[in-house]
């Protein structure tokens, strides 16, 4: 299990890998976003990852809260 921030109004939610090795395993695609600071930043985005939240089961790409690879 990994910490995750689900934002129902966002295009992508955030997943926090615990290491660069884990982040690389989840995905190496980099995208530019405008976050809460309104400053452009580059972040990694995962491949679609299976997840479950209570009875909900789905796959979804996540922004990776780890320095861009």
Mean pLDDT per 10-residue section of the chain, whose length is 69 residues: 72 81 81 86 87 86 73
The closest alpha carbon to 64, from 9, 26, 11, 7, belongs to: 26
The closest alpha carbon to 69, from 36, 38, 26, 10, belongs to: 26
pLDDT score, position 1: 65
pLDDT score, position 24: 77
pLDDT score, position 67: 62
Whole-angstrom Cα distance, residue 27 to residue 45? 6
pLDDT score, position 60: 85
Whole-angstrom Cα distance, residue 44 to residue 36? 17
* pTM value surpassing 0.85: no
């Amino acid at each position: 299990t990994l910490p995750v921030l689900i934002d129902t109004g966002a295009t992508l939610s955030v997943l926090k890998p615990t290491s660069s090795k884990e982040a690389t395993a989840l995905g190496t695609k980099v995208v530019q976003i405008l976050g809460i600071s309104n400053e452009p930043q580059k972040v990694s985005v995962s491949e679609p990852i299976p997840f479950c939240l209570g009875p909900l089961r789905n796959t979804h790409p996540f922004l990776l809260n780890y320095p861009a690879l």
